Structure 1
Amino acid sequence: MFLLPKGVIKRFEAICRNYLWDGSPDYHRVPLIAWDKVTLPKLEGGLGIKKADVWNTATVGKLYWKSICKVKETLKSGYQDNKWISDDKEYSIKHGYEWLRFKQPEQEWYQLVWNNWNIPKHALITWIIMNKGLNTKDKLFRIGCCTDDRCSICDISSETQEHLFFECRYSKEILSIVEKWCGFKINVMHGMTGNTGPKLKHNAHTLICATIPFGTKGTMLE
C-alpha cells in the first residue's frame, strides 16, 4: 500500500541474497552472481526472483490511490486514453512489473538449465556455470586466494570453466564413457542428438551433472 524506504528494501534484498548463497541471513563473501542478474526471469538468464523496488512500485500501482500519486510519473507513459497499453489488458501487478523492469535478451541455454528432467541442485549449478560464476582456480589465483591456477584434476592447464568441463582430459574421458553408455553423441550446449527418449535423456544428464561439482569448492554447492 506504500513505497518502502530504500533502506528497508536494501536490507530485505540482502537477506534474500544471503539466504540464496549461504542459507542464513548473514553472508560476508562476494556472491557468485550479481543480484541484478539473479532477479532476471529464467528465460533471460536469471533465477526469476523479483526485484524488490520494482515489485513494490508495481504493487502500489494496483493497491492504493494515494501511493499512485508518488509513482504516477513512472507509470503514466504506460497508459494511453486512460487504458493500460500492455497486451490490451487491464493493469495488474504482473503486467506493471514486466513493463517497468529492464528486459534482457532471451538466453539460448534456458531450456538446458530449466527443464523437467534436471534436479534443482544441478539446475542451479548449471545456471551459475552459464553465467561464468564458478570459483575456478583462475579466478581465485587472480585475487590471491591460491598459489597457482592449475587444474585441480589434471594439474596441467589453467583451471577455467571451459577447461574444467570441455578441455580437461578427465572431463573428456567422462563424456566419452557417458556417450558410449547412452549410444549417442552429446552436445552440452544444445542438448543431445539422435533418437533419445525422456528416460535416456534423464540418465545421461544425471551422469553429466555428476561432474559439475568440480570447481565449486568453498561454496554451498560443494
Structure 2
Amino acid sequence: MFVDDLHLFCKGDVKSIFIIMETFKRFSSTSGLTINSEKSDFYCNRMSQHVVQRVLQGIGFKKGELPFKYLGVKISHKRLTKINCNVLVDRMIARIRGWKSRKISYSGRLILVKSVLSTIHNHWSQIFVLPVSIMDRIQALCKTFLWEGSDNYSRSPLVAWNVLCMDNEHGVLGLTDSKIWNYATIGKLVWWVTSKQDHLWIKWVDHIYLKGTPWFQYEPTTYSSWAWRKVCQIKTMFQNGYTNGLWNGDIKEYTISSGYNWLLQNTGSKVPWFKIVWNRYNVPKWNFTMWLVQQKRLLTLDRLRKWGMDVPIECFLCGQAPEDHQHLFQQCRFTQQCLQLLANWLGLSSGLLLKPECHLRLRYLSAYARKVCSDAVVGLYYRIWRCRNVCRLEGYVPTPTLLVLQIQEDCNRQIQGCFKGYMKHTDSDWNRLRNINI
C-alpha cells in the first residue's frame, strides 16, 4: 500500500458496508471515477463466515489477511508480537553481515551504530511500543557489532551498554538506548493529548476514550486496544514532567530529544577530558583508543592476568615494571621520553601532558592551539598503545624520536584536512614554529 491509498472503517455488519458502497456508487456517477476491484481489499475481524461471504459477493473485493503492511509497518487488530517485528532484526543482521568483511575499526563501528543500526527501528518506534524482547535483541546486535564487528556474541564487552548510552560530557560514547528512545517517541503522543493538539486522532481519542475525563486521571478499560493501553502506560512515566500543562516546567513544547534526556537522567559528573577525546581535529580511531585509556578498559597485562590468562608481567616497552594503565601511559620510561619530545615540539611542559585536560585551561594558548595540542596528545596515546602491541607480537620497539615524528606528520595531515576558514596571524606564527603547514 502507498501513502495515497484510502482506508475506510465501519462496523462489521452488512448494512454499514453496503451504505459505504452506495456512497461510492454515487461518487462514481458524479465524478466518473470508479473503484479498481483488483487493487481493493476487504479486511474484517470477528465477523461470521456467512456474513463475510455475503459482503464479498456484494462488493466484489478480495478478502485480505491481517496483519497487512502499510508505510513500512504491520497493521493489525492484535498486539504487536515478536514475530511481527523480526523484520527489524533481519534488516540489522543483513547490514552487519555486509560490513563484516571490511575490517572496520572501533571508531568506524561506533559511527555505523549511531547513524545506521540505531535508526533502523525509529519509524516503528514512533508508532508502536515495541516488544521488550525485540528491543533487547536490537541493543544486543548494536553492542555485539561495536565490540566484535559481527552479529555473533563471543565475549564480554569492555564497557557495559547502559554506561555507553550516557552523553559524551559524562565520559562515554553517547549511544542511544533503544528502549528509552521508544518511550520518548511515544511520549510525543502523550504530549499531543495533554496539549489537545489539532489532530483528527486526538479528537477521536477524546470522543471514544477520554469522554471529558482529565488525561492524567484517566485509566484505560480492559476493552481498550492494546496500542492505546501502551500509550497510557507511557503517560505514567511522563506524569512528573508536566507542570500546569507545560513540559518540564518551562519548555512550551515537548520534543523527543528532551523526553529522552528526561528519562535517561544523566546524573553522573562531567569529566574534564571529554573535549580532548572528542576534538574534531583528532583522527577518529585515536578518539576511541584515548577514550578506552581514560576508562582504563584497554587489555593491558594486569587485566589479562586477572582473567586467568598466562601472560608476562613486565611492560613490553621498558621491561622494568608490571604493565597497567598508569605505568604504560605515565610511568614507563619509553612513554616519558615520548612525552618530553612532544612537549618540546608543542612548547609545553611534559607535566601538563601527563594530565591532558590541564592544557585546555592555559589562557596564553589560542583555541586553535589548544585543539592542536589535544590532537597531538591523543595521537601520542594511540601510538604508544600501538607500539606496545607491535612489540608484543613482533618484538620491535621504535625509537621515541621516530614515534613523535609520526605523530607530527599525522597531526599535520589531519589539521590540513579539517581546518576551514580564516586563521589569525598569531596562530599562523604558532604553526610556523612547529612546521605545521596549512
Tell whether the structures are fold-level matches, with TM greater than 0.5: yes
The answer as to 2:236 corresponding to 1:73 is: yes
Figure out how many residues of one structure are paired with residues of the other and give that number.
218
Alignment match of 1:204 (pick from 364, 376, 400): 376
State how far apart, in whole Å, the 2-side matches of 1:26 and 1:94 are. Answer: 31
Q: Give the match for residue 190 of structure 1.
A: 357
Alignment match of 1:90 (pick from 231, 243, 253): 253
Q: Give the match for residue 178 of structure 2.
A: 52
Farther-moved stretch of structure 1 (107-116 vs 204-213): 204-213
Q: CA RMSD in A?
A: 2.4
Q: Give the match for residue 223 of structure 2.
A: none
Matches within 5 A, 1:75-154: 75-103=238-266, 104-154=268-318
CA spacing shift, 1:36–1:203, aligned 2, 3 Å: closer
Three-state SS of the structure 1 residue aligned to 2:384 is coil
Three-state SS of the structure 1 residue aligned to 2:385 is coil
CA spacing shift, 1:119–1:89, aligned 2, 3 Å: farther
> CA-to-partner distance for each residue in 1:72-111, whole Å, 9 max, x for gaps?
1111111112221254231111110011113122111111
Amino acid in structure 1 at the alignment position of 2:377: H
Q: Give the match for residue 321 of structure 2.
A: 157
Q: Give the match for residue 133 of structure 2.
A: 7
Kept in 1, the 8 Å contact 2:318–2:333? The answer is yes
Amino acid in structure 1 at the alignment position of 2:239: K
Kept in 1, the 8 Å contact 2:317–2:388? The answer is no
> CA-to-partner distance for each residue in 1:21-71, whole Å, 9 max, x for gaps?
122212311111111121111011111111111111101111477242121
Kept in 1, the 8 Å contact 2:186–2:231? The answer is yes
Quick check: which has more Rg, 1 or 2? 2
Q: Give the match for residue 35 of structure 1.
A: 161
CA shift, 1:149, in A, is 2.6
Structure 2 residue ranges without an equivalent (≥5):
1-126, 194-227, 393-438
CA spacing shift, 1:214–1:191, aligned 2, 3 Å: farther
State how far apart, in whole Å, the 2-side matches of 1:127 and 1:207 are. Answer: 12
Kept in 1, the 8 Å contact 2:282–2:375? The answer is no
CA spacing shift, 1:84–1:22, aligned 2, 3 Å: same
Three-state SS of the structure 2 residue aligned to 1:210 is helix
Kept in 1, the 8 Å contact 2:166–2:172? The answer is yes
CA spacing shift, 1:81–1:195, aligned 2, 3 Å: closer
CA spacing shift, 1:210–1:45, aligned 2, 3 Å: same
State how far apart, in whole Å, the 2-side matches of 1:206 and 1:6 are. Answer: 39
State how far apart, in whole Å, the 2-side matches of 1:77 and 1:55 are. Answer: 18
Three-state SS of the structure 2 residue aligned to 1:211 is helix
More helix by share: 2
CA spacing shift, 1:6–1:200, aligned 2, 3 Å: closer
Three-state SS of the structure 1 residue aligned to 2:187 is helix
CA shift, 1:147, in A, is 3.4
CA spacing shift, 1:82–1:53, aligned 2, 3 Å: same
Amino acid in structure 2 at the alignment position of 1:9: M
Q: Give the match for residue 25 of structure 1.
A: 151
Amino acid in structure 2 at the alignment position of 1:177: L
State how far apart, in whole Å, the 2-side matches of 1:128 and 1:56 are. Answer: 29
Amino acid in structure 2 at the alignment position of 1:59: T
